[in-house]
Amino acid sequence: MKDYLVKVLAYDDQVRAYAVQTTETIDEARRRHNTWSTASAALGRTMTASVMLGAMLKGEDTITVKIDGGGPIGTLLVDANAKGEVRGYVTNPETHVDLNEHGNLDVQRAVGTNGMLTVSKDVGLQQPFVGQIPLVTGEIGEDFTSYLFNSEQVASAVGVGVLVNPDHTIQAAGGFIIQLMPGAEEEIITTIEERLKVIDPISSMVAKGMKPEQILEQILGIENMKVLERMPVQFQCQCSEERVTNAIVSLGSDEIQDMIQTDGQAEANCHFCNETFHFTKENLEELMESAV
């Protein structure tokens, strides 16, 4: 099943909810960056939450999420947009830590808790909207819950999960965000809180083959839900050979001449997708002419 996201209203518009399957998307990130299991889980949870935040945007708006908790994994950086496209990377993809006391991947220890979660939204204004909170647990889901409540003043519950196979491939990944609208009835809040306590882990539900709609049914009840939209989700980078070429031309002829004399070639690597663009001496000479 291809990855996709669903947007839902529930309880007569008193609750807004999102759920997403991201298995193929996270496995693509793992393949590109050669992440080990704990790094895959941390990056996958962050990308999953970010793609849901991106789905709250409109048009060409974009969002950038940065998590730096001081742990051995380093910095997590993720971009997402309103079209279900997401990309991301982690500073130290080959990070390994022992399993935690529950026998699970220890994302908290890898990410760390001595740092910040920063969300930057580009909505077409001169300056992006930036919200920042101290990390709560480093488990990612709870940190996004705290961000939405403290920075955007929206009472939310965020669940994200990644199940990694022994060979480091991604078996299942997905997430949900449940948000209470102003004035939501106390009885509804209590019902949702009780259901959140007893549902299976999100990665387990995805591994069982449950679709995003079915995941939300477990939390909200099928009789209370109204599906607004379904959106495909994928790993998508904005880099291209054309963009890199333009960047080299913008350096000017003197700088390009120095590249030719020093190395006789040039390479550019995109951090987000790990794609490498190679330029021969002949390529650079052509670009130098364009820069003159």
CATH number of the domain encompassing residue 273: 3.90.1280.10
* Domain co-membership, 204 together with 272: no
Show the domain range for 260: 241-291
> What is the rounded distance in angstroms from the CA atom of residue 265 to the CA atom of residue 277?
11
Q: Any idea what the Cα angle at residue 187 is, between residues 184 and 189, rounded to 5°?
A: 55
Residues contacting residue 273 through CB under 8 Å, at least 6 positions apart: 32, 87, 235, 237, 239
Exposure of 87 in the CB half-sphere (CA atoms within 13 A): 12
* Coil vs helix vs strand at 146: helix
> What is the rounded distance in angstroms from the CA atom of residue 224 to the CA atom of residue 138?
33
* Domain co-membership, 231 together with 169: yes
How far CA 61 is from CA of 94, 104, 127, 156, 186, in Å, comes to: 32, 36, 13, 22, 34
CB contact at 8 A, 276 and 269: yes
For 5-42, give one letter per residue: b (16+ CB within 10 A) or e.
Answer: bbbbbbbeebbbbbbbbbbebbbbbbebbebbbbbbbb
Tell me the per-residue pLDDT of 70-124, one tens digit each, with 9 for 90 and over.
999 999 999 999 999 999 999 999 998 998 888 889 999 999 999 999 999 998 8
* Domain co-membership, 197 together with 231: yes
CB neighbourhood size of 265 (10 A): 14
Domain-terminating residue out of 198, 213, 235: 235
Q: Which amino acid is at 143?
A: D
Sign of the torsion formed by the C-alpha atoms of 37, 22, 54 and 212: negative
* Domain co-membership, 136 together with 28: yes
* Domain co-membership, 209 together with 270: no
> What is the rounded distance in angstroms from the CA atom of residue 63 to the CA atom of residue 51?
9
In the chain, the N- to C-terminal Cα span, in Å, equals 51
Q: Looking at residue 31, which CATH number applies to its domain?
A: 3.55.30.10
* Tens digits of pLDDT across the chain (292 residues): 799 999 999 999 999 999 999 999 999 999 999 999 999 999 999 999 999 999 999 999 999 999 999 999 999 999 999 999 999 999 999 998 998 888 889 999 999 999 999 999 998 888 889 999 999 999 999 999 999 999 999 999 999 999 999 999 999 999 999 999 999 999 999 999 999 999 999 999 999 999 999 999 999 999 999 999 999 999 999 888 888 888 888 888 888 888 888 888 888 888 899 998 898 888 888 888 887 6
* Domain co-membership, 145 together with 281: no
Residues contacting residue 76 through CB under 8 Å, at least 6 positions apart: 42, 43, 46, 65, 66, 67, 68, 88, 89, 90, 91, 111
- Edge to edge, the sheet with strand 4-10 lists 156-164, 170-180, 15-21, 4-10, 225-232
| Helix, strand, coil content of the chain in percent (nearest 5) | 35, 30, 35
* Domain co-membership, 40 together with 9: yes
Residues contacting residue 48 through CB under 8 Å, at least 6 positions apart: 20, 22, 26, 160, 161, 162, 173, 174, 175
The predicted structure's pLDDT at residue 34: 96
Domain-terminating residue out of 213, 235, 257: 235
The predicted structure's pLDDT at residue 249: 86
Domain-terminating residue out of 235, 260, 276: 235
* Coil vs helix vs strand at 15: strand
* Domain co-membership, 141 together with 218: yes
* Coil vs helix vs strand at 86: strand
* Domain co-membership, 211 together with 265: no
* Domain co-membership, 50 together with 192: yes
* Domain co-membership, 18 together with 145: yes
Please report, to the nearest 10 degrees, the dihedral formed by the alpha carbons of residues 178, 182, 184, 186 taken in order.
Answer: 100
* Domain co-membership, 173 together with 265: no
- Give the total number of structural domains in the chain: 2
Q: Which amino acid is at 27?
A: D
| Paired sense of beta strands 85-90 and 75-81, if any | antiparallel
